[in-house]
Structure 1
């Protein structure tokens, strides 16, 4: 009686098992950044920044040299508007990276490489915005009690009313928008955390 011994196939090592890879902590942080930059909230921020940028450039350029009490108000609006416009372009790239390259094309490694380049630029923009915005506040608010709009010959106190009102209003509007965005961001995170806790429990 013939008996045959069954041995495992010698080429069992050639079988490739497709096991899901778990992202590292660094990749997880990059993924979170990508998700933020591709969110609706970020898209709204980009749109608002584009609107504010256009307004700042309009008033800063159209009313150039019409505020002798504080000539730096024009410079503040032009530089702030130009920098914000550059940030808008960077924001569009960030949004495209998250929505198209990361999600639609599923090229996660490429998207993470792009976000590594974008994040330092975003940080630099944030620091520059903060510093320049504070300086602009000083220029605008320091002459509020002395400014007048009726006598252009008195250069020590005159500023074109539309220009000054625009600069003043843009600063106040920026505070309001930043406050609303901060509240919505915190609220979204708290709600998201609550939902995740309820799902896990």
Structure 2
């Protein structure tokens, strides 16, 4: 405890939910590292998830750090930058995830095909000699995790807006 101007300063503890979320995020990062190369259809999806996990950990560190150290305006500035980055990165992730809905989940059906990536006269890298476009696969666990966590973000946003509107009407 530190004393200043006769008052006792007690640092607040970070919320327990922050510490629990940190453990969950670390588990998700491990899952993504396992599947990092399992989505050639859209290779940015695992990178998107990995960066979101790391940034979420960074946000948890900022929350915990602000509880123990008085960083003043610098903490708020960094938090604003991180939120701006999360917003922009979330939009990019939406484009990557929803643009390939619903991908080929079968790894052996596309990349093992003898005509896979035989471009011939087409400029499409997934065009084959038979004239059809072969979609490379995306791991089902990885894609569905990205898809449903994005959908869950929208559901949570909708609930927050709905509850906020209800609270405004009640007051």
Q: TM-score range by the shorter chain?
A: 0.5 to 0.7
2:140 paired with 1:161: yes
Give the corresponding residue for 1:170.
149
TM-score (structure 1 length as normaliser): 0.56
Give the total of aligned pairs: 136
2:8 paired with 1:72: no
Larger radius of gyration: 1
Give the corresponding residue for 2:35.
63
Residues 125 and 72 (structure 1 numbering): CA distance in 2 closer, same or farther, change over 3 Å? Answer: same
Give the corresponding residue for 1:148.
104
Shift of 1:62: 1.1
User: Could you say what secondary structure the match of 1:66 adopts?
Assistant: coil
Unaligned runs of 5+ in 1: 1-37, 98-110, 195-201
Deviations 1:116-173 (A, max 9, x none): 121001100110000001101111110004x111244514331111111111111112
Shift of 1:185: 6.0
TM-score (structure 2 length as normaliser): 0.65
Contact 1:152 1:159 in 2 (8 A): no
Give the CA RMSD over aligned residues.
3.2
Unaligned runs of 5+ in 2: 1-11, 112-134
**Aligned with 2:92 (options 123, 129, 135):** 135
Report the Cα distance in structure 1 between the residues aligned to 2:42 and 2:23, rounded to whole angstroms. 25
